[in-house]
Structure formats: structure tokens, C-alpha cells
Amino acid sequence: MPSKPLPHLVSLASAVPRFDLEQDDVANRAGEIFAPMVSDFQRLMPVYRNAEIERRHSCVPIDWYADSHSFAERNGLFLDHATALLAEAARKALDQAGLKPSDIDTLITVCSSGIATPSLDARVMQHLGFRSDVQRLPIFGLGCAGGVLGLTRAAALARAEPASRVLLLAVELCGLTFRQQDRSKSNIIATALFGDGAAAAIISCRPEHSAGPALGAAAEHTWPNSLGVMGWDVLDDGLKVVFSGNIPDLVRNDLRPVVDTFLSRQGLTLDDIAGYVCHPGGAKVLDALEACFELPPRAMREARDVLRRHGNMSSVTVLFVLQETLNSGASGRHLLTALGPGFTAAMLLMDLP
């Protein structure tokens, strides 16, 4: 029986919006907004320092966050900025691969921070010269797991049509979901964590692309009765962030058996893993991931560096970590992981040359 074609990562590029948010400035502005409304806000102030984030990127200036905005206004900004960022990231990925938009056969778009119908891929097609018969697959609702699961879906489609090239697009504008009148702890913590960004990756099984990192086995695991761990509540003025405070405990206590089972099915153990490319949900989550995988404290340097410079960009973040890992010259078998609404763990093996 002939072996199945192996998909490879042909190129990977990123893009960020133009406004930089320094963490100290965010903390000061949050104090102006929340201190009059939240009696114990000073008790929460250390979250800005403990997040281990220095700056993030935003598609709107910091003054925008001090005012109230309707869902319609937020989503209008989302459509404009998400489309522009995806087009920028796509151009970079195509240039890096030496390809034209007309060389792409399938577009996959991952996003959970805004609503788009027509979907974002159709909008990006208006900016770049993709063929009219390109296949489109928009994916919504995967949250922070979307980067790894997007790569997994792209690899599966590339395997299904080995002569094709798949362009994965991911964008999140988490900042636009901030709701000024929301006094919840989750909303306050979100102001210390979330940033905006986009990434694009080309995946293909074509022989001329076989020099790049190979995408191997993948899996996902959704825990029962866990819908309330992470997600959005849809309210009149926008998307209200939902995440549980015990996510680091879930990572520390429940992720390892899932990963071990996945690796065992491939005839592997953690001893066969040369490195980790993990979504850095936050500093405490990274601490828990290092404990889960029996790594020394602060061993996940690339993930911590991305968190420090960009914050948590939901699905996009792990693609930034992968880009940092590739730029560092890493080689060998790597494990990609991310956790998202469901509550779901996404896992993917990638062999770096």
C-alpha cells in the first residue's frame, strides 16, 4: 500500500496592527475606568504586572477603550481591520513561498472575535488575486485552540488533494471585545492579557515543498461538562469574555494523560519530543504547561517571549510561537498544543528539519 502524502509547512508569516499598548499605560487607563466602579479594583491591579506582558498591539488607539461602543460599531471595525491584517499576512506568506495568490487552491480562515458574513476569506479575495474557484472554509468558535486546529484542518485538506496548496489564515481582534461597563473579574483580567494580531501559513504535499517542516499526527480532546470554562456570552453591546480561573489547574492536572494517550497511539512518549510549541494563554498557564511536561521553570522561552511582546492573541498566538521557534533554528520532533472553548485540547506533531 502506498504511503500517505505528507503535508509540509511551506511558509509562515504574521501581521500586527499599528497601535502599541504598553502594559503600564493599560494598567493606568484601566484604573481610571474601573476604580470608580469596582470597589476592590486595587486588589486586582497586580494582574497587570503578573501577566508578564510588556506590550500588545491594537487596531484602535488606547483612548477608544474609555468609551462605550455598540456591537454594530465593534463589528464594523472588526471587519475592516481583520480583512486588512489577513491580506497583509497572506501577502507575506505568499512572498516568502515565492507563490502568487492564483497558486492557492484552498483558503481556511480561523477567527472567533467577530462576525463576518460574507466570511473573511471572501473579503480577503477582494484584496488579492485568488482564483474564483478557490475552495473556502471559514472556521468560527475554536478560540485559543484555533491555531493548532487550523493547521490540523489544513494538513487534512492537503492530504485529501496532494497536488493542492492550502492557505491558512488566522486573525483575532480581542481588544474590540472590551466592554467598558463590564465590572466582572474576567473582563478586568482580559484587559491585562489580550492583544490583536494575524498570521498566515501555506501547507502542501507537493514534492517541491517537501523541504519544510512536516505536519504529522494530530488529535483533540474535549472534556465533558466543560462548556463554561472558556468562551463568549453574546450581549447587546458585544461579546462578553468567559474564562475560568482554574484553567492552570486543569492544565497541570488533566492535560498530561491526554497528551500521553495521544503520543502512545503514535508509539511515542515525551522522551521523543525535542521541543514544545504551546499557546501561551498567560504566565500561569505557561507555568502549568512546564510542570505538565516536566520541563524546568521558564523553559518555554519562545512562548514567553511572544506573550511578553504581543499578549494573548487567542488562536493566532501559537502561530507566532511557531514562527519564533522556526527562527530560533530548532529542529527535531515538536509538539504543538493549545486549549480552547469546548473545553478542548488540540495537539499536533511537527518535525522540524
**H-run or E-run covering 327:** helix 317-327
Cell numbers standing for residue 77 = 471595525
DSSP state of 194: B
What is the pLDDT tens value at each position of the chain, 353 positions in all? 457 789 999 999 999 999 999 999 998 888 888 877 777 777 778 888 888 999 999 999 999 998 889 999 999 999 999 999 999 999 999 999 999 999 999 999 999 999 999 999 999 999 999 999 999 999 999 999 999 999 999 999 999 999 999 999 999 999 999 887 777 778 888 888 999 999 999 999 999 999 999 999 999 999 998 888 888 888 888 888 888 778 888 899 999 999 999 999 999 999 999 999 999 989 999 999 999 999 999 999 999 999 999 999 999 999 999 999 999 999 999 999 999 998 999 999 999 99
**Which entry of 59, 144, 278, 292 is annotated as an active-site residue?**
144
Q: Which helix (H) or strand (E) holds 84?
A: helix 71-97
**Residue 144: active-site member:** yes
Burial grade of 29 (CB within 10 A; 0-12, 13-18, 19 or more): middle
* pLDDT of the residue at 159: 96
Domains of the chain in sequence order: 8-209 (3.40.47.10), 214-352 (3.40.47.10)
Output the nine-digit C-alpha cell for 94: 505568499
Per-residue confidence (pLDDT) for residue 233, from 0 to 100: 85
**Residue (of 217, 200, 231) closest to 319 by Cα position:** 200
Helix (H) or strand (E) holding 152: helix 146-160
pTM exceeding 0.85:
yes
Contact 315, 331 (CB under 8 A): no
Specify the pLDDT at position 16: 98
Provide the CA 353 distance to its chain's centre, in angstroms: 23
